[in-house]
Amino acid sequence: MLKKYRVSVNGQSYDVSVEELAGGPAVASAPVAAVSHAAPAPVAQPVAVPVAGGTAGSIKAPMPGTILAIKVANGQAVKRGDVLLILEAMKMENEICAPADGSVSQIRVQAGTTVNTGDPMIDLQ
């Protein structure tokens, strides 16, 4: 016996025919629509950059990108986790944070500057 149904999925209506089999499960004669769910957009997290070799206390670019904004000034005291600058990489804004307490001794970049991985950006003492 063939039964007809109208099914609504996400606001879209589908007409389906279902054949009832003796002792078995029903089989749909219309194709089943696949439902896709968009993955949530990634959330940018602050990047804590460890103080590495080279100039003592030099904050280096963790990835290539463009400096969008400098959030500190020369001589300014900063605490661990304070945002030093915003680095845009792969269309995401990354907050570059102070890895330790200190003060800004030199700012080596300015807004609009393009940096490569490892380029010194800010010196802390």
Give the model confidence (pLDDT) of 2-27 as tens digits: 888 888 887 888 888 887 777 665 55
**How far is the C-alpha of 100 from the C-alpha of 8, rounded, in Å?**
57
In this prediction, residue 55 carries a pLDDT of 36
Is the pLDDT assigned to residue 112 strictly greater than 70? yes
Please check whether residue 73 is in contact with residue 124, taking contact to mean a CB–CB distance below 8 angstroms: no
More confident residue, 48 or 19: 19
**Residues 23 and 62 reside in one and the same domain:** no
In this prediction, residue 54 carries a pLDDT of 33
**Residues 28 and 51 reside in one and the same domain:** no
Is the pLDDT assigned to residue 68 strictly greater than 90? yes
Q: Which domain holds residue 2?
A: 1-32
**Residues 27 and 82 reside in one and the same domain:** no
**Residues 7 and 62 reside in one and the same domain:** no
**Residues 106 and 74 reside in one and the same domain:** yes
The H or E element spanning position 89 is strand 83-89
